[in-house]
Structure 1
């Protein structure tokens, strides 16, 4: 008897089955439907009316304008609670509500009045719009540069999520001869080795259609991975383009000089530690901050009564103490000025804490801070550094101007050195008179300048039988200026 291939024959029978649901019959039905023009996709899909298109465009435009405005103002778009029952749904949604409240046409098409699938308020939509805006800005930057030569300014730091981010800024001269700086890119890097940074920079320049051969300068800070002469980022880019000369940031160089100078003179190094401690003790809580303000009001009222100061609009403003920051050396100058301006009220607050503090540690910190603040050594170094840093702070501010170049920077440095030299040669007596007047007003004991100065701890370098004036003038005032010069 002849064998039958049951597997193939059975499969064909199932495919050609007599039921309407069989695959064969279903395919035939679809084919017949395709021949019917009424079933074509352009006839089946729902067409939107002209009004619906206009509503969608208006809805989209409102969302884009809100995103642009918040981004330009550096405001967050999202809120902590964007639910329908939230009283504050975040900047983005609240701004759309505000626009809708002043325009009924907008109110009719946004938020609750918009279709669920076309509100244009989702986080993904916001990110997409921001990406489009960023791309347009980068394209505009490329159109500005075109084939011109440019300089790179690069820095890296950690963000709030502890990820290393590298910022790239380009500096160039436009067609009108004006120096322009444009933020080009922000790149997440896995590590901060010079090779990694160099590869990411090359990829970014290639993406923005900028040639590495057009680089005519590099500007970084003084970190070894950036400025290293053998394997630093500046050396690796210099190998790619021999004209990409490296220039260490002028303001950062000055900051490093300030830090080194403060360590050369012991009394100057200690003054900033003491200053930071005093500021921390006084501003460590809102209660003490309020006490400082009350003390200022009382002092201003007294000085107005005795006709030492004048009252008027904009005068005698209530201020607070400035904290010094390690990465911003100019903040040390502001901190010194703020303490000198608020010296009396600060001592009042410290005295109150020393006598009425709730814990022994609070009292001890206040007594230690008050003891150093009321010493002649602290006051004279405070005044001395104010005069010196007033000169160098002008240089620091000038070096951060966009219009600065190497020639002007050297001229500013020379001018600053001349001013420091003049202060060294002619400024001592004026400084001493200011300090003595300040001490008498604050009830601080002024030592006899002709008496022998007594060192707290004598070292081999300290001379015997020197006068107090020699110590303060030569070993502090002149030494601090010479170190800085």
Structure 2
């Protein structure tokens, strides 16, 4: 059943009652605030009368321990403060009104050089900060009655009374509470936290240095499945401290400090790289003169990079080569190479005029006598003697020598065809590997290289050691009816060439030539005339042995 609506008289009575209650509450709150305000003003006035400063020169920079500053029931009564501040009839701006009679602090004594006296000064009650700012020491006060300095906080609130709160400290004394701090526990917690992360960083830096030194990849498809994280997990098996950290922060995610992210590892790599580069540049600047070595090569991502190397003679006479870094290269023109090299040396604060040598490959943009890089560098350093790369020049000479002989050129062309035919099909390659394994031979055919003479030696040695197995595989492919006709024809053609007596002779001859002292001598730089003569004698002796066999 619905309640009966209130009449107008009832509504007016209820409204009047609510207004009366609100008025009482407002009056009560105003009375409370007035009392609290008067109490605070009284306390502030009493504290203001008791606050003063003391000199830093007498080592009274006191840090109060937090365990001695717990509020007590002591109040700011006149009995506690009357001996702290001396009443003075002088005006409020008078120094005697602020500090009392400073002359009462004088103490006298006799020393080896005569009598002496000490006393407080007005300047002692201020502290000059490191930034030059002057700050008043509000927490210390001076009593002209006793001639001592007090800490009013200790005097009024400390449960455990100390010398500075009971008797004060006179001139020349040291505060007994100097060893404490009001934020001692907070500072201890901060120091422990700081030490924790420093210990973590030591382990992370050691891991990054190990991977970088050995040229190992840091991570795989994700940040927690690569060598970097796996190394940390391996170390954690013997390091409980690191194991606890990985358990707590191992997969914390973004926004959480763990120092385990890839960005931290990359930052450490950059810092280490800068440190190593700085050391290398210091060596270069101490040596003053240097030689420049430049070459370009594409990386795995098909981006061409220019390698910059400096060759120097150290102060102790040791000749060393230092790799400076890779520089991205878009244009292979000699002008662009010149700009890149000069800009790189300028960033390292190395003067090009101290360049005394330069060595590049035999490409026209590098070795050109008019517009090549070596000619452009000579315009900035006239004494920069150009020397072609010995290894590149030797490879070119040997390759061109082989190509001059028709039979030798045909033989190496056959080796390249053999590699292309077997490697172009996984089925053929497996047949070859299975045949080698059946005969307990760990071999594989090699491809040739236009710039590396050693690659030809490896290809010849592989064919010579697996000659019979290679022919057998080719014959099996040529007789397989399930194989395409064109493939069978090509296999039989290569097998027929290998069955040729001249091919077998070339294989044995080139293998002897490339695996003897003569080949090893050719691969090194001719450092003197005696080495060159010895090379000729070795070649003549080898030729006689070959024809005799």
Asked whether the two chains share a fold, i.e. TM above 0.5, the reply is yes
Partner Cα distance (2:271, 2:522) in 1: 38
**1:368 and 2:493 equivalent?**
yes
Partner Cα distance (1:339, 1:380) in 2: 12
Residue number in structure 2 paired with 1:309: none
Residue number in structure 1 paired with 2:357: 217
**Deviation at 1:360?**
2.2
- Residues 149-171 of structure 1 show CA distances to partners (whole Å, capped at 9, x for unaligned) of 22111101222333221111111
Structure 1 pair 328/261, CA: closer, same or farther in 2 (3 Å)? same
What is the aligned counterpart of 2:241 among 92, 102, 105? 105
Residue number in structure 1 paired with 2:215: 74
1:4-153 aligned at under 5 Å gives the runs 49-82=190-223, 89-110=225-246, 112-113=248-249, 116-148=255-287, 149-153=289-293
State whether residues 323 and 335 of structure 1, in contact with CA within 8 Å, keep that contact through their aligned partners in structure 2. Answer: yes
**1:398 and 2:524 equivalent?**
yes
1:49 is paired with a residue of what secondary structure? helix
Partner Cα distance (2:248, 2:491) in 1: 58
Residue number in structure 1 paired with 2:446: 322
Structure 1 pair 285/72, CA: closer, same or farther in 2 (3 Å)? farther
**Deviation at 1:218?**
0.8
Identify which range, 55-64 or 105-114, moves more after superposition: 105-114
**Deviation at 1:216?**
1.7
Partner Cα distance (1:242, 1:119) in 2: 55
State whether residues 77 and 90 of structure 1, in contact with CA within 8 Å, keep that contact through their aligned partners in structure 2. Answer: yes
Residue number in structure 2 paired with 1:181: 321
Structure 1 pair 80/206, CA: closer, same or farther in 2 (3 Å)? same
- Residues 355-389 of structure 1 show CA distances to partners (whole Å, capped at 9, x for unaligned) of 22632233222111101100112122223333444
Give the TM-score of the pair, scaled to structure 1.
0.68
Number of corresponding residues: 360
Q: What's the RMSD between the two structures over aligned residues?
A: 2.7
- Residues 203-238 of structure 1 show CA distances to partners (whole Å, capped at 9, x for unaligned) of 222222322222221111001111110111111111
Structure 1 pair 323/99, CA: closer, same or farther in 2 (3 Å)? same
**Deviation at 1:327?**
2.8
State whether residues 82 and 90 of structure 1, in contact with CA within 8 Å, keep that contact through their aligned partners in structure 2. Answer: yes
State whether residues 208 and 269 of structure 2, in contact with CA within 8 Å, keep that contact through their aligned partners in structure 1. Answer: yes
1:253-292 aligned at under 5 Å gives the runs 253-285=393-425, 287-292=427-432
What is the aligned counterpart of 2:388 among 248, 262, 266? 248
Q: Structure 2: which 5+ runs fail to align?
A: 1-182
- Residues 81-119 of structure 1 show CA distances to partners (whole Å, capped at 9, x for unaligned) of 346xxxxx1111111111122211111223643675322
State whether residues 55 and 109 of structure 1, in contact with CA within 8 Å, keep that contact through their aligned partners in structure 2. Answer: no
State whether residues 333 and 365 of structure 2, in contact with CA within 8 Å, keep that contact through their aligned partners in structure 1. Answer: yes
Structure 1 pair 161/296, CA: closer, same or farther in 2 (3 Å)? closer
Residue number in structure 2 paired with 1:417: 536
State whether residues 151 and 171 of structure 1, in contact with CA within 8 Å, keep that contact through their aligned partners in structure 2. Answer: yes
State whether residues 330 and 396 of structure 1, in contact with CA within 8 Å, keep that contact through their aligned partners in structure 2. Answer: no
**Deviation at 1:259?**
1.8
Partner Cα distance (1:319, 1:162) in 2: 30
Structure 1 pair 151/111, CA: closer, same or farther in 2 (3 Å)? farther
Residue number in structure 1 paired with 2:30: none
**Deviation at 1:146?**
2.7
- Residues 19-54 of structure 1 show CA distances to partners (whole Å, capped at 9, x for unaligned) of xxxxxxxxxxxxxxxxxxxxxxxx9xx976222112
What is the aligned counterpart of 2:547 among 421, 429, 432? 429
Partner Cα distance (2:396, 2:533) in 1: 18
State whether residues 225 and 232 of structure 1, in contact with CA within 8 Å, keep that contact through their aligned partners in structure 2. Answer: yes
Partner Cα distance (1:190, 1:290) in 2: 40
- Residues 126-151 of structure 1 show CA distances to partners (whole Å, capped at 9, x for unaligned) of 22211111111111112223331221
**Higher CA-based Rg:** 2
2:317 is paired with a residue of what secondary structure? coil
1:369 is paired with a residue of what secondary structure? helix
**Deviation at 1:320?**
2.3
Partner Cα distance (1:407, 1:396) in 2: 11
Identify which range, 191-200 or 381-390, moves more after superposition: 381-390
**Deviation at 1:340?**
0.7
Partner Cα distance (1:136, 1:112) in 2: 32
Partner Cα distance (2:382, 2:426) in 1: 56
State whether residues 399 and 450 of structure 2, in contact with CA within 8 Å, keep that contact through their aligned partners in structure 1. Answer: no
State whether residues 59 and 110 of structure 1, in contact with CA within 8 Å, keep that contact through their aligned partners in structure 2. Answer: no
2:197 is paired with a residue of what secondary structure? helix
1:165 is paired with a residue of what secondary structure? strand
State whether residues 164 and 192 of structure 1, in contact with CA within 8 Å, keep that contact through their aligned partners in structure 2. Answer: no
- Residues 158-209 of structure 1 show CA distances to partners (whole Å, capped at 9, x for unaligned) of 2233322111111122233222111112111331211221222122222223
Partner Cα distance (1:386, 1:58) in 2: 58
2:524 is paired with a residue of what secondary structure? helix
